[in-house]
Structure 1
Amino acid sequence: MLRINRVRTRGRYSAKVLHVEKMLNTLHRFWLHVLLLHALMANISGEDCFSNQKLPDRLSFLGTKLDLSHCNITRLHTTTFQKYLNLQVLDLSYNALEELDFSVFQFHTVLQKLDISHNKLRTINCTTLQYIRGVTHLNMSYNHFETTFLCKEFATLRNLKHLGLNVTKIERYDFMSIAHQKLETVFLGLEYLQQYESGSLQLLNSKMLHVVLPQTLTDSALLLYDDFNITTTLEISNIQCEETCNDMIRHINMVIQKSKVSKLILSNIKMSWPEISKILQISWRSTVEHLSIYMFILVKEFDYLHIDFSEGSLKSLTIENVIPQVFLHGSYKHPLNIFSEMFVENLTISNAEITHLPCPPRPNIFRSLILSNNKITDEIFAQCVTLANIQFLSFQNNILDRLSYVTSMTSTMKSLKHLDVSGNRLYCDFSTRCEWSQSLLVLNISRNKITDSIFNCLPPNLEVLDLSNNQLSSVNKEIGNLKALKELYLSLNQLSHIPDCSHLSKNLMYLNIDENLIHSPSKEQLTNCQNVEKILAGKNKYQCNCELKPFIGTAEILHENLIGWPQSFMCEYPEELKGVILRDFYPSEISCNVFILIGIIVGTLVVLLIIMFFLCKHFDLPWYIRMIFQWLRRKYKVRNSYHDEIMTGKRFHAFISYSQEDSEWVKNSLIPNLEKGDNSIKICHHERDFIPGKTIVENIINCIEKSFKSIFVLSPNFIQSEWCHYELYFAQHSLFGKNSDNLILILLDSIPQYLIPNKYSKLKAIMKHRTYMEWPKEKGKHGLFWANLREAIQTNNPLEGEEVSLFN
């Protein structure tokens, strides 16, 4: 139901003028049916995934990728994918397939990646493997295979690089069919492995092996021994030790000494800190050079344990996604000291909820230190002088606040080249000179609270500066001090103009000012940046008007420098041009060239004058004009001659116009102080003097004509009332004319000119050219105000007798 009520603005005329009521129940029911039908079409399962309702939404550009996961598919038909001949990537994971005949892909010669994991497959048709001989990625993990099911036909998959399997039993020659192939990655999900024959994995030839350890296998040593000896990159998952991991650690210690693994990854593990420390010690004196620990649940206590890191082969340590479930440490040293004491070139501790890392007690060999996604504060490495060798330092996504602390921290890092402090809460607080490392070449301070003052304090030798997503409104000329700057990122700020490239380094090759508030860039701003090889300036608030036309012309010339031209450059204002590409904006020459416009106007006026001249000559118009002038002059004389007669028809000294919101002041103060019960002044008040049965307009006009003067009580409420405006208009154009003094203005409350709507131009003009009386707020001045007002109303003309009707 739609109901529209329009009420008069002024309260005393608050009767409803318009009441429109439309019933939309039919249309409402129609839309309910449409929505219900849409919901039923969207709730597709099983083979309905292949219907035209779902497939187009899951196809990528040109139909090269198709995602049909979680569709509850139980069977594939020969014609299922026949019309998608360009298919390169197909995801059929998390369905209910129980058997698979690869002949369904006989027309897909470009298919490269096939994922059939997490189904119910127990067997596959090996004779049809020839139809996927071009596949490079094949994931068959987490099905119901008892063995690897790698039949001899797998030897035809000569392009295979990535293979995923899961089994419950591995026998000696299960991998014989792919033994000759050089694979990149092999994934073995062995959670439910019940039987393993020694040496079975030795047939695999893979650069990386990812093994999910079994939960119930009695002797894991044989499996681990083979894992550590068939590849240089090994990932072991699912090490779960609620109480102790002594057996697992003993097995790892036994086989790791004879392994060829150089990169060891432990993922999805759960154990205590002492046991992790043992793995660190084992890895430290092995062939492992790179150790990574992901998805680590830390249980029990977290105490400092001393480890001798003086000799070892480990070059990098990565610990990410730690969930601590530990008691507070009680040792004399914080357990994080173990990382500060390590002699590794690359250390990463990310998403581990650490708040600090102690300064190394002696000079360290850190080259790269990444402490991102933690809760590190400003006190990190304060006055730390043992990190002189560090080159890459990242505190991304922490809670750093003061930039001056960051600069002071880096001043002792003599080799620092790359610093990333993005995603913090940094603000400029330079009260003294800033101290940066002089070796710093790359600085990322994006996603902070940096303002324009940053340009007064930057490392002088920077080559790459990222200040995107901050609070910059301009680029100061001090940026010219960065003589070696090659890349400058300023996207997602508050810039209103393209930076002056004459102040930037001559070596600048990349400038990103995307997604700012740039609305009217000039041709000169873009021309100054023509030596910059790549400029990203799309997605700004471009205002498409005549001023933008030179910029568009220059952009067309320099389009090779503008990344994303023209698709990313669109009009934002005015509203009717929003979304229009700048290159498609063609303003007319007349609207943009003032000289052409003046020429057309002058030419048109000349033509009109010539036409009027000939019309006057032909139709004798001057004679008609003289006749009209004489008629108007006679009318004016007649009007003056009846002035006295008009004056004798008055029944009131003054008519009062006011807003209903000011009625209390009018009733309780204005009328009582003017009339005083002696009939010396008689006021026309609508509540007692309007005649029932007459229209409001008739009452207003007749009251004004029957009154010597009209009093208008001005206030902010007054200018909001259209009826008050009408009364002012009628009073101004009454029989007395514009130049008479029949209008009395009382300013009850001040009215700023900007509050008066443009459509009330007459009110603006009256307030500008007429004198008005201002109601004093001080009570002692009220007597003088009433005296002046009564004097302004007094007239020597007598009122018409009370028996004369208001509407003669």
Structure 2
Amino acid sequence: MVNILSFFVWILMFQPCHSLCFPVANDIVTNYSSSSLSTVPKNLSNLTNILDLSQNNITEIYMQDFAPLHQLKYLNLSSNKINNLAPAFFRSNQKLECLDLSRNQLMNVECDFLHNATSLKYLDISENNFLSLTLGKAFSFLQDLEYLSLGSRKTIKFRKDDLKEISGKQLQEVSIKLKTLSEYDPSAITILRTTKLHIVLPSIKSFHFLKNVLDDAFNTSDILTLSNFECCQKCNHLSVDCCQTCSKINNGMNQCCSDCSHYIESFKVLGKYSRVQNLSLQHLTVDWETFAKILKIIWDSSVEKLSVSNMKICQVRQHLSWFFLQKQLKSFTLRKINILPFYFSQAIIYDVFEELKVENLIIYESGMIFLTCPKKQNTYKLIDISDNSFTSDFFFQGCSTLKHLETFILKQNRFVQLFEVSNMTTYMTSLKHLDVSQNQLIFDEVRICPWTNSLTKLNLSSNKLTDSVFTCLPSNLEILDLQKNNIYTVPKVLKNLNNLKELYLGANKLANPPDCNKFRNLEILFVEANSFHEPSSTFLQSCQRLTVLNAASNPFTCTCNLRDFSTMNKNTHIEMIGWPKSYCCAYPDVLKGTLLKDFYLSEVTCSPTLLLVIVLGTMFVIAILIGLMCRFLDLPWYLRMTWQWTQMKRRTMKTDSYQLSENLVYHAFVSYSQHDYSWVKEQLLSNLEERNLRICHHERDFIPGKGIIENIINCIEKSYKSIFVLSPNFIQSEWCHYELYFAQHQVLSEHTENLILIVLEPIPQYLIPSKYYKLKSLMAKKTYLEWPNDKNKQRLFWANLQAAIGVSLTAPRQGSISVHND
């Protein structure tokens, strides 16, 4: 059961624990509360820091149960049936700071089991079966003790020296439950040195001890809490049946229906001499008259802050007329006030607050529906009436007597019209902070809202307001909270809120964050949990003074438009609340869940202008490089020759050996001009024959006795290719022309590609006579090889020529090389 969930469950369930015992996040929590256990579990982790065994049926605890828990800091054993613990029980738990043993059956208040528990700060041993409150020697060793709660279910005696073992310690808080008190020595409480004191007063049966208890309580601590008031005045013919009301409260017992003079007389000590400045009264059941008399005594005393909570008023009968004579309190708090009679004059209650002299008035969780405007200038600086049932109808409308009011808290009521709320503030010339959150406010009217000019902080969160609310705002605001409304956009036409420094718009339906040009001094902006995908660039540019931004939990679309926003945390001084875990891509689907800090698109991808510049620049550089290569490296020639070689290889691969005629003898027949003979002999023949190619040369291979034309035709037919060495000299040769004609005719008749043109020297088209139109056509349509003078290029030339000829022939016959020249 050791997990993080147990940690939070423990916080909720371990209610008796003081703030001294509040755990930290890395504490290991083991929670066995309400598990019907009768013994301590044996499988507890030795690393446990917090152990909750409350609300079980454990009767016996043995020392070895907790001996291994050396890291134990907080132990809750409340609401069990433990009746005894061995001396020095916690000697193995040197780090134990908080121990709750309340609501058990311990008999011995000396608590010898506390020996060696020297780190203890919080101890609650109330509501056990002690017969007295005489603390044992073990308490004198608790040097770090700050909180102590004492009390018993049994009738107890409280003597003067019962608390002497802690008399020298300065404690933060002491709680003593004296509901079952049977004997009390005066000054038994005053021995304490504590900042806060909580006394649960004796029941009605022990009224005769009440005065002494209160005398001591009023002079022991500056901060005092008194609880367990149960008294209603005796019934008379002028009132409702008070006894019947009290009987309902106390399950049929009329014990509270008695003379309450004991309480009133006991409280009079508070007015004569007392050190109490902060007084809290809890769990009261009184009639209005008794409560009024007690209030009068308090107002005349040293008390500056008064709090009354969980009070049931069983009778409301008379008006109070004494408040205007009393001094002013700093704070008066009423919480959970329940007036039991259904029919009574509401004016009796409201009149009290008309005359009440107090700086801070707090009334919450009391079901109040109305307050009247004070008749005279009042001293209220703060009014908090949260969690009641107030409505804006006529509430403080036109009220001009609250000129000193600075803070007005109206949250969690039933206010509906924002205009009426604004109108209520008109005469509150000192009002700075107004909170109307968690109501039902709307604003649909086109009206000017008459806010007071002094208002600087306005909380309108958790209402039903729409975009129109921006037309009904005070102009001097510095802090505006509009979270959890129905706002879709901040209107473009908007009066400038130049003083606004903090704007809270979280949990609305905004499609875009607001433009800060409308809020020029904005420093803090919360727009979390809205509906915007891509914060606009104008938003980023306009928020120059922004220091804190919360835009978490929005459905961000991770495109180029989001690049500036995703790098805001790096590139600006703005603190991003929730960064980076709460900033994720929602679209596109391929990036869904990706953190914005991990989302990246390059500048080139997102800038068309830059991309165009790079593309054009690259093309320009390539063009220059191509030009330089063409100029200095003759790149076009290499490209052309490589292309020719590739094409020739392709054609050669397509030509199977079976396709060749059986009478082929030569790889090639060479036709050239006699003027080019030296190149043919020294370059062409020598290189081709080195590569084992058979060349038909007319000087060797023409058959004597036959005509020249017959020999030409015969050689062409017996050669796989016909090579023509073209030059200006070739054009002047008649025989060369014949040979070209016959070779071309063979191409057309056999559908082969057997012509190879070698341009030895460039031949301008205009030099070719018109009668050689076939040569012109061939040079225009057919790829030819150019002889390079550069020796570095000649290797590629021969490779191309061999690839063009490349074919395997059968063994040569005698006189297999044929070359013809004119």
1:217 aligns with 2:206: yes
The one of 344, 351, 362 equivalent to 1:348 is: 362
Alignment of 1:183-198 (within 5 A): 183-198=171-186
Classify the secondary structure of the residue corresponding to 1:163.
strand
Could you say if the C-alpha distance between residues 439 and 584 of structure 1 is closer, same or farther in structure 2, counting changes exceeding 3 Å? same
- Alpha-carbon contact 2:123-2:148 (below 8 Å) kept: yes
Partner of 1:561: 575
In structure 2, relative to structure 1, the CA distance for the partners of 1:471 and 1:85 (3 Å cut) is farther
Partner Cα separation in structure 2 for residue 99 and residue 532 of structure 1:
63
Offset at residue 181 of structure 1 (A) = 1.3
CA contact (8 A) 1:288 1:313 kept: no
Contact 2:90-2:113 at 8 Å conserved across structures: no
Question: Any residues of structure 2 matched to 1:714-793 within 5 Å, and which?
Answer: none
Taking a change above 3 Å as real, the CA distance of residues 140 and 542 of structure 1, as seen in their structure-2 partners, is farther
Tell whether the 8 Å contact from 2:287 to 2:316 is kept in structure 1 after alignment: yes
> Which is worse superposed, 545-554 or 220-229?
545-554
| Counterpart position of 2:413 | 398
Q: Choose which of 89, 99, 108 in structure 1 pairs with 2:74.
A: 89
The alpha carbon displacement at 1:134 in A equals 2.5
TM-score for both structures, normalised by structure 2: 0.62
| 1:252 to 2:266 alignment | yes
Aligned residue in 1 for 2:349: 335
* Aligned ranges 1:288-303 → 2 under 5 Å: 288-301=303-316, 303=318
Query: Kindly tell me: are residues 547 and 214 of structure 1, through their superposed partners in 2, closer, same or farther at Cα, counting changes over 3 Å?
Result: same
- Using the TM superposition, give the Cα deviation of residue 210 of structure 1 relative to its aligned residue in structure 2, in angstroms: 0.9
CA distance in 1, matches of 2:397, 2:74: 51
Residue of structure 1 in register with 2:219 after alignment: 229
User: Are the structure 2 counterparts of residues 487 and 590 from structure 1 closer, same or farther at C-alpha, using a change threshold of 3 Å?
Assistant: closer
Partner secondary structure for residue 206 of structure 2:
coil
Residue identity opposite 2:596 in structure 1: L
CA distance in 1, matches of 2:494, 2:48: 48
Which residue of structure 2 lines up, in the alignment, with residue 454 of structure 1?
Answer: 469
Q: Secondary structure at the match of 1:315?
A: strand
Equivalent residue letter for 1:400: F
Alpha-carbon shift at residue 353 of structure 1 (Å) = 1.1
Secondary structure of the 1:491 match is coil
Deviation string 1:733-778 (CA, Å, 9 cap, x unpaired) is xxxxxxxxxxxxxxxxxxxxxxxxxxxxxxxxxxxxxxxxxxxxxx
1:426 deviates by 0.9
Contact 1:302 1:328 in 2 (8 A): no
Would the aligned equivalents of 2:103 and 2:126 in 1 still touch at CA under 8 Å?
A: yes
Q: 2:668 is matched with which residue?
A: none
Residue matched to 1:702 = none
Q: How does 1:49-60 map to 2 (within 5 A)?
A: 50=41
2: CA distance between counterparts of 1:85 and 1:536?
43
1:383/1:539 CA distance change after superposition, 3 Å = same
The whole-number CA distance in structure 1 between the counterparts of 2:540 and 2:66 is 51
User: In structure 1, how many angstroms separate the alpha carbons of the residues matched to 2:491 and 2:323?
Assistant: 51
Q: 1:245 to 1:406 in 2, by over 3 A?
A: farther
Confirm or deny that 1:150 pairs with 2:165: no
Q: Give the conservation status (yes or no) of the 8 Å contact 1:329–1:335.
A: no
Verify the 8 A CA contact 1:377 1:399 in the aligned structure 2: yes
TM-score, normalization by structure 1? 0.63
Structure 1 residues 528 and 107, CA gap change in structure 2 (3 angstroms): farther
Query: Hey, what's the Cα distance between the residues in 2 that align with 1:616 and 1:272?
Result: 119
Tell me how far apart the structure 1 counterparts of residues 282 and 471 of structure 2 sit (CA, whole Å): 46
2:523 aligned partner: 509
- The question of 1:174 aligning with 2:159 is answered no
Equivalent in the alignment of 1:743:
none
The 3 A distance-change label for structure 1 pair 620 and 185 is: farther
Cα distance per residue 1:468-517 (max 9 Å; x no partner): 111111223566722222222111111122222343232x3322212222
- Residues 575 and 42 of structure 1: CA distance in aligned 2, closer, same or farther (over 3 Å): farther
Conserved 8 A contact 2:222-2:275:
yes
User: How far is the alpha carbon of 1:424 from its aligned partner?
Assistant: 0.8
Structure 2: how far apart are the matches of 1:590 and 1:101?
78
For the residues of structure 1 that align with 2:70 and 2:499, how far apart are their CA atoms? 51
Q: Is the 8 A contact 1:192 1:214 kept in 2?
A: yes
2:480 aligned with 1:465, yes or no?
A: yes
Letter in 2 for 1:264: L
Q: In the alignment, what sits opposite 2:283? A: 268
Q: CA RMSD in A?
A: 3.7
Q: CA deviation at 1:201?
A: 0.7
| Residue of structure 2 equivalent to 1:768 | none
Query: Does the 8 Å CA contact 1:498/1:526 hold for their aligned counterparts?
Result: no
SS in 2 for 1:98: coil
**In the TM superposition, what are the counterparts of 1:627-666 in structure 2 within 5 Å?**
none
Number of positions where the alignment pairs a residue of Structure 1 with one of Structure 2: 566
Distance change in 2, residues 1:384/1:208 (3 Å): same
What is the aligned partner in structure 1 of residue 97 from structure 2?
112
Q: Which of the pair has more CA radius of gyration? A: 2
5 Å matches for 1:666-745?
none
Once residues 176 and 319 of structure 1 are traced to their aligned partners in structure 2, the CA distance between those partners, rounded to angstroms, is 36
**How far apart are residue 409 of structure 1 and its match?**
0.9
Deviations 1:646-678 (A, max 9, x none): xxxxxxxxxxxxxxxxxxxxxxxxxxxxxxxxx
Residue type at the aligned position of 2:137: K
Counterpart of 2:190, as a letter, is: Q
Q: Which residue in 1 is equivalent to 2:144? A: 159
Counterpart AA for 2:187: G
Residues 197 and 124 of structure 1: CA distance in aligned 2, closer, same or farther (over 3 Å): closer
Matched residue type, 1:150? L
Contact persistence 1:173–1:200 (CA under 8 A): yes
1:326 is paired with a residue whose SS is coil
* 1:436 Cα deviation from its structure 2 partner: 1.0
Q: Which SS does the other structure have where 1:453 is aligned?
A: helix
Q: CA deviation at 1:320?
A: 0.7
Q: CA offset at residue 554 of structure 1?
A: 2.9
Is 1:536 aligned to residue 550 of structure 2?
A: yes
Paired residue type of 1:172: K
Query: 1:618 and 1:48 mapped to 2: Cα distance?
Result: 94
In 1, distance between residues paired with 2:33 and 2:382?
Answer: 50
CA offset at residue 156 of structure 1? 2.2
In the TM superposition, residue 69 of structure 1 has moved relative to its aligned partner by 2.7
Q: Say if 2:99 and 2:124, in contact at 8 Å, map to a contact too.
A: yes
The one-letter amino acid of 2:370's match is H
- What percentage of residue pairs aligned between the two structures are identical? 34
- Call closer, same or farther: CA 1:585–1:135 in 2, change over 3 Å: farther
Structure 1 residue identity aligned to 2:206: L
CA contact (8 A) 2:110 2:135 kept: no
Q: Name the structure 2 match of 1:741.
A: none
- 1:476 corresponding residue in structure 2: 491
Match for residue 321 of structure 1 among 309, 317, 336: 336
One-letter code of the match for 1:537?
A
SS at 1:217 equivalent: helix
CA distance in 2, matches of 1:300, 1:117: 35
Moved more, 551-560 or 199-208: 551-560
Separation in 2, partners of 1:545, 1:107 = 61
Return closer, same or farther for 1:535/1:291 CA change in 2, 3 Å cut-off.
same
**Of 99, 117, 121, which residue of structure 2 is paired with 1:132?**
117
Cα shift at 1:84: 5.6
Give the letter for the 2:84 counterpart.
Answer: E
SS at match of 1:339: helix
Q: Which amino acid aligns with 1:436?
A: W
Gap runs ≥5 in structure 1 = 1-40, 604-609, 623-808
Deviation of the 1:116 alpha carbon: 2.4
Gaps of 5+ in 2: 1-31, 232-245, 247-256, 620-641, 655-822
Instruction: Note closer, same or farther for the CA distance 1:166–1:388 as it changes in structure 2 (3 Å cut).
Output: same
The verdict on how the C-alpha distance between 1:221 and 1:576 changes in structure 2, with shifts beyond 3 A counting, is: farther
SS at match of 1:345: strand
* Cα offset, 1:152, TM superposition: 2.5
CA shift, 1:42, in A, is: 11
Task: Pick closer, same or farther for the CA change 1:420–1:548 going to 2, 3 Å.
Answer: same
Q: Which residue number in structure 1 is paired with residue 565 of structure 2?
A: 551
Give the C-alpha shift of residue 439 in structure 1. Answer: 1.1
Shift of 1:596: 8.7
